[in-house]
Chains A and B, each alone.
Chain A
Amino acid sequence: MKEQPPKLVERLFKRFCSDAFLEDLLGDLDELYFCKRQNHSRFNATAYYWWQALRLLFSYAIVKRKRERSLSAYYHSQKLNTMLFNYIKISFRNIAKNKTFTILNIIGLGLGMSIGLLALATYVELKDFDHFHKDSENIYRLTSQIRENGTKEDFASAPPALSHLIGNQITGLDQFVHINDHFFATIKTAGEPIRMSGYFTQPSFLEMFDFPLAAGSKRVLEQPGKVILTHEVAQKLFGNKTAIGQILETENWGKLQVGAVLKPFPKHTHLFFDILAGFSEKNALKESNSENWTEFYGNYFYLKSNLEPSQIEARVASIAHSGDVFFEEKNLDAHFTLQSILNINPGADKEDPLGVVFDSPGMYMFFGLALLILIPACLNYSNMAVANALKRSKEIGIRKIMGSPNSQIIQQFLVETVIICLTAVFLSIFIFNLIRAELLSMLAGGTSLGMELSPKLLIVFFLFAIITGVLTGLLPAVYFSRITPIKALRKTVNNQKVSISGLRKALLVFQFVLSLSFMIGIGVLLKQYRVSLNYDQGFTRENVLVVPIKAENQQLVANAMSTVPAITDMSFTSSMPGIPLSRSVYFYNAKGLDSVRARVVYTDNRFIDHMDIDMEWGSSNLFESQSVEQVLVNQQLMNRLANIREENADSLLAEMNGGKKVQIVGVIKDYNHEPLNQRIEPMVLRLGESELTYALFTINTNDLVSTLSDIEDRWDSLIPETPFQASFLNSEIEKAYSFFIIGIKIFGLLAVLAITISCLGLLGMVIFTTENRKKEVAIRKTLGADSMRLLYALSGLFFKMWGIALFIAIPASYLYYDKIMMSIYNKFSGGVGFTEVAISSLLTLSLGLVAIITQSTKVMRTNPAENLRND
């Protein structure tokens, strides 16, 4: 049999060009196909045929022929617009006719789409990341794949040994930069030290990436002890004073001099730093020696080149062979690839990431959550639209009789849904604006996102609304288009389907479960919060005033305040109790192989007694001795130390990092120095006059205002250069639990969304059943049924579904929240209790009841004669 070119093309042409003359053109196309087929494969010829056909389809030749055949000069191109205009007109009339229906739908879809908008905005913004660098499409990052016994791991970092090799031996690179992100400078100031994250890097960093300098030169990265600050950090530290030349006192890197300051730069970059320093002997050079292949955490390489990535990869592979020995020693196999910096966000999930990375799996989760909220809202719309069919049937019947094909009915309903979605998206954008800031504050790396409403974002939002509208409207549209005109005009559309299908029941139960579990979640969080605030953490917190001081003023403050009559007791510490700790030291065992990390708190001698902290053993008094430092440890640390120092467990001498020997003179009973959600970690208390940045005063007075002003006066005369700041320990601790508030807000939002949407769904379902059972209700009424019985008949089904939902939701949320409390919040309040469950189910139940009863009573109240007469 002779081969034929694809038939579809001819059909396509016929449909698209209606009755324009095509015979000669199609003939030409066929001939071309056979010419091509003579010396090419069938696939090639078909592809060629399609290509030619498409080019022809959109050519001037076809346009001209269509114009010649059309009845009027305008008709061929404007047919679509006229119909669309008609659809829109009819849609607006229908929308205006069914106001309740429309408002319910707009609320439902608006709420449903709001989370979707957040996800979209995040995605759109991430797509824009790092585009502002010049020639950003030519900048790549070197990433490593390490295989060990068949398991493969992807790292964003690469071996430091490559640094010299790539910089010197690979040709064709425009720029090359090595970044090490282990630069955590903690800057000492009054009160809490400022923790900064920064990079060790090379001057080429500022050439490759567009971070412009405001003052100073990038060459300072070649000088040891000099750093570059970002605009924000410089503002925070020095305000409007010139930052250049200032000395920063850091805890771990000594004194650093500010050599240059950056201008403000766009936030849309995965590189996240406050401070930059050059490589020097002191810091990361030891890690970047030429033999260091296998320990590469925190070392990143960026390169810029207009070569193909595969070419560079091949060159890297050839020089990386010298590292194979080192990897083989550890049974590893390393392979290096290039990743465009434009693919970092959102990108593959890599180990040891640098800066702000939102990986694709996380984005999928986000979109999943958005769909979880959106899909019920869309299905509710379909349900309600179908339930409303009776009201629309006359319109559809008449249109069909007038000769409109199914496709026009479908288009009518799609246009209607799209209009409703487009209106609803305004509500979504409003909600989006409300919750944007909250979301950003809780996302790790949220500071890099702005989520400002830009024209581009708005276009994306409206497209999203249109797509949602089309998908949502499809089900009711197809349903309506299939109604036969006779049925439609006799209003017998729904009569054979009185019951609700199993799928819809399952959907409703699912929505109930969702809203119940969010509600229970709020209850649990509130309980946790309440308990956290009132829990006895093991130290006194009443009437304690906290004043941040500079360490060098400690003695001065102590002397001056001891004469204030209202201050009954005082002590000094490096960190307030009840607030997370940042500093830690390591304790080593005798062999120096294993270590225990311990949180470190510097205090004066009064601290333990002042704060009423119980001692387990020993004395709370530390003496500054010349030979061995005396320290206090908590029980946790004592137990761990005993474990690793079996040979002389009772010597009470321990070794800290740096080979420093300390003597343990007392053991403190474990108490929650950090917030309750942190476990009680090993902790050590040391004396350290130069570290005391908080003064704690116990105040006993009847006239707080005058006492405070008295203290402030003394402070101002003593230390005029630092403003007096004071707060009560209680309120500081409350601040430390503010993450609960964020959690409660998020759960609250999700619960409101889920409950509203499920109530709308319920309402739709109730409308559907009651509308279809009007006749039944009328007959029951004439036969003498009372209203309770009728209510039961109409809504008994929903109560049953409610029961099922409770049956699923309570055990599920009990398990879920209890597990979460155990792992994240360090369960201390007993998890899910009876009250939360009872209150949340009652609340959701009553909301649902309102929906059911209002609709049912409406049907019950109508005169039965009305319903029966018309049949």
Chain B
Amino acid sequence: MKFLKPTLERLSYAILLLIAVLILNFSMLHLAPGDIADTISQSMGGADAETMEQIRRDYGLDQPFIVQLGQYVWKVLHFDLGYSFFYNQPVTTLILAKLPATLLLVITSQVVALVVGVLLGVYSARKPNGLASHFVTLVALFGYAAPVFWTGLLLLIAFSLKIPLFPVAGMIDVTVEGGFFAKAFDIARHMVLPVIALSSIFFALYSRLCRASMMEVLGSDYIRTAKAKGLSESKIVLKHALKNSLSPVVTLAGLQFSAVISGAVLVEAVFSWPGLGTLAFSAIIERDTPTILGILFFSALVVIVGNLLTDLVLRLIDPRIRRKG
């Protein structure tokens, strides 16, 4: 029960945010030079003024702004994001086809970044001046300053062109025969380099924060008590300290969703990963506005859902937040 009320509040706020994204989307579309009639007439190779008027009437472009906005929001709330003239498909269908690939890349990278980051952070917190600590600082600087697409390209040059360990591009090799496991293994092989590139931005961030919060927790009274009881060092770190030092790391990870998606766009471009980023890129090149705006809406949706989930996880691991409600 105590879960319910704050969750509902957050949920209704999330819906408000989504509607705001829609309004922004629509206003930008409205402000931008050119409209659907221009796009259609271009694809038909030109049209006279009368046809243009007809198209504008058909698409309701002669209605006042606020009416059009209402219609747009109404349609989107029914999962209708418009029609892509370039792909000749509804935008929702297009996006739903590409979304799994992006989610797979994004979630795997975040899990890898979190696990490696926390492990390195915990390890270096126990030896603040050790080799691991310096390594964390160094990698953190690299992760911050190196452009992610460049990291990706370097990995590509090194590990799939010079030393052909991994495939160069794409997600699935169509020539691979076999059952589920053969296919899964093939996808995993394609994923290695993109995941390393994308998580390189984040894992250093997590390990630095985890190290700091772990060191703080290790200095607190209840850890001294645990030591006095004669518990082993590894038991103290893993059972007592880790849980408490995790919550800042999870909070930070939750704030990174929008950055992860931005990074994913670039990584997808480097490895020709068939996800939303690649779709967004070609939609922009083809000036396919409904698709572009649809992707912006969906990625905002992913960020909002991600934030809600982070909130839930935080409540699960940190009783202090649970009590505050």
- A and B bound? no
Residues of B at the A interface (CB closer than 8 Å) are none
Residues of A at the B interface (CB closer than 8 Å) are none
